[in-house]
Copies of this chain bind each other. A is one copy, B any other.
Amino acid sequence: MKMLINVAENVVADALRGFAAAHPELTVDIERRVIVRRGAPYEGKVGLVSGGGSGHEPLHGGFVGKGMLDAACPGEVFTSPVPDQMVRAAAAVDSGAGVLFIVKNYTGDVLNFQMAAELAEDEGVQVVSVLVDDDVAVTDSLYTAGRRGTGATLFVEKIAGAAAEEGAPLDRVAALARQVNSASRSFGVALSACSTPAKGGPTFDLPDGELELGVGIHGEPGRERRAMMTSGEIADVTVEAVVSDLNPDGPVLVLVNGMGATPLLELYGFNAEVQRALAERRIPVARTLVGNYVTSLDMAGASVTICQVDEELLRLWDAPVSTPGLRWGC
């Protein structure tokens, strides 16, 4: 497997150097692996910190900026960041109003963020943690106890970030983050495996002519393998999986997310089928976002995340955001 890299050991450090060069509006501590919004901490503002293994870009570093995260901690590829990164991030963004940790539900991330929260509290930073566990495909997987955290992370970070930007207190920001997670469901499909730099090749075998339904963002196994399906058939399975689990009775946000190697042309075509499948189930769509946001290196495939929104969540979704990966209204 050919990769546009130097050596596997330096992939994350190299990417951070290139990220820093492209984004002078952020403070990137390459050695300590913390990306911080310039000007943080902001007086009176709750600080939002997230992080996780690298390989899911633009998540999380690409979501640091006005109206979203205050800091992100990138780990090695598909590997949790360490507590020291999270403690530094918390210290860097705490104005005294406290810090929210947004944690995807993977065993390593959960343990490390928990340890970091304790260490940060020892240093006088008030921390509340919120778990994201939106993937309906499996419970108790290779990497997790319970459901995996995937696409809903974007919804949680955006909506909680907008509330924090408006000056909402820590308990309110945390409550909104939990509400968004509870109201969100995801389901993903892989057409090809991803290749990690360390392995230098595919992390799993996916035969020609088959796809993996319910795949995770590290290529974890899903619900089943099937013979290759059309975009419309995949949309039916995917939408049914998230809708039957959430049972929304109001409008939803829709994220049609590419896994990294699926062209935008295909993603938009898939979105047409996702919208059709939602319309057939009489689910009103408030907003749709299509693109590569919560990726899995070079995996081909897509995931769908829906989040049921009330007026307040929709207002916060529409609020201005200015980050490398998501930007509107400012």
Instruction: Name A residues whose Cβ lies closer than 8 Å to a Cβ of B.
Output: 2-7, 10-12, 14-19, 21-22, 54-55, 57-58, 62, 77, 191-192, 208-209, 211, 228, 230-232, 234, 256, 260-275, 285, 288-290, 292, 295, 297-298, 300-302, 322, 327-328, 330
- Checking B3, B21, B22, B231 against A14 with a beta-carbon cut-off of 8 angstroms, the contacting residue is B231
Q: Complex formed: what's the CA distance from A6 to B232 in Å?
A: 6
Which residues of B sit under 8 angstroms from A192, Cβ to Cβ? 2
A265 touches B57 (CB 8 A): yes
Q: Complex formed: what's the CA distance from A211 to B274 in Å?
A: 36
Q: Complex formed: what's the CA distance from A191 to B228 in Å?
A: 25
A4 touches B327 (CB 8 A): no
Which residues of B sit under 8 angstroms from A264, Cβ to Cβ? 57-58, 62, 260, 292, 295
Which residues of B sit under 8 angstroms from A234, Cβ to Cβ? 4
A22 touches B271 (CB 8 A): yes
Which residues of B sit under 8 angstroms from A322, Cβ to Cβ? 328
A contact patch SS: mixed
B288 touches A21 (CB 8 A): yes
Q: Complex formed: what's the CA distance from A261 to B267 in Å?
A: 13
Which residues of B sit under 8 angstroms from A300, Cβ to Cβ? 2, 4, 261, 298
Q: Would you give the shortest CB distance from A5 to chain B, in whole angstroms?
A: 5
A191 touches B18 (CB 8 A): no
- Checking B15, B231, B269, B271 against A265 with a beta-carbon cut-off of 8 angstroms, the contacting residue is B15
Which residues of B sit under 8 angstroms from A18, Cβ to Cβ? 256, 267-275, 290
A77 touches B298 (CB 8 A): no
Q: Show 22 A/B contacts (Cβ-Cβ < 8 Å), sorted by A.
A: A3-B266, A4-B231, A4-B234, A4-B266, A4-B302, A6-B230, A7-B230, A12-B265, A14-B273, A15-B268, A16-B268, A18-B273, A19-B271, A22-B290, A57-B265, A261-B261, A261-B263, A261-B298, A298-B300, A322-B328, A327-B327, A327-B328
- Checking B3, B11, B263, B330 against A260 with a beta-carbon cut-off of 8 angstroms, the contacting residue is B263
Q: Complex formed: what's the CA distance from A295 to B263 in Å?
A: 8
